[in-house]
Amino acid sequence: MNEKEIIKSELKQLIERNPESFPFIAQYWEIKIKDKTTLEHKWLELGKYNSKQSNSNPFYKPISRMIDLSKIN
């Protein structure tokens, strides 16, 4: 049994032994063990009150229309 399977098995046993510590649906959880990654999620800073967001959103319409797209297509 590899390390991931051992961790998975231990987690299942933990859920079985302590059902009151987990949601009632926990017995049906499909457990996946992920590798630890060194990549950190890069947050977008919004400049005030230490506010951050994970993803940004583009403006809902073109800000200007410099490129004549009909020539490209």
Partner 1 sequence: MEETTPTQHIKLHSNCIPVKGAMRSVICDLQRNLYIPVPHSLIDLFDEDSLLNLELLETTLDTASLQIFSEYLHLLERQEFVFHCNKLEAKNFPTINTEWDFPSQATNCVIDINQGSEHDYTDLIQNELDSVNCHYVQLRSFDAFSLSFWDDIIKIINGSPIRSVDFIIMDVSACFSHKEISEWVYSNRKIRCVTLHSSSENKIVRQQNLGFSLVLSVKEKINSPISCGNIHPSYFSINVESFTESLAHNTCLNRKIAIDTEGNIKNCPSMAKSYGNIRDTKLIDVVNNADFQKVWHIKKDEITKCKDCEFRHICTDCRAYIENPEDQYSAPLKCGYNPYTCQWEEWSTNPLKQQAIEYYGMQALVKDEK
Query: Half-sphere exposure of 24 toward its Cβ, with a 13 Å CA cutoff?
Result: 0
Determine, following the binding rule CB under 8 A, whether residue 40 of this chain makes contact with partner 1: no
Concatenated DSSP letters for 37-49?
Answer: --PPP-PEE-SST
Does the footprint of partner 1 cover residue 36 (CB under 8 A)? no
Is 55 an interacting residue with respect to partner 1 (CB under 8 A)? yes
**Least CB distance from residue 38 to partner 1, whole Å?**
16
| 38 touches partner 1 by CB under 8 A | no
CA dihedral 10, 4, 2, 13 (to 10 degrees): 10
Which positions touch partner 1 (CB under 8 A)? Answer: 42, 44-48, 55-73
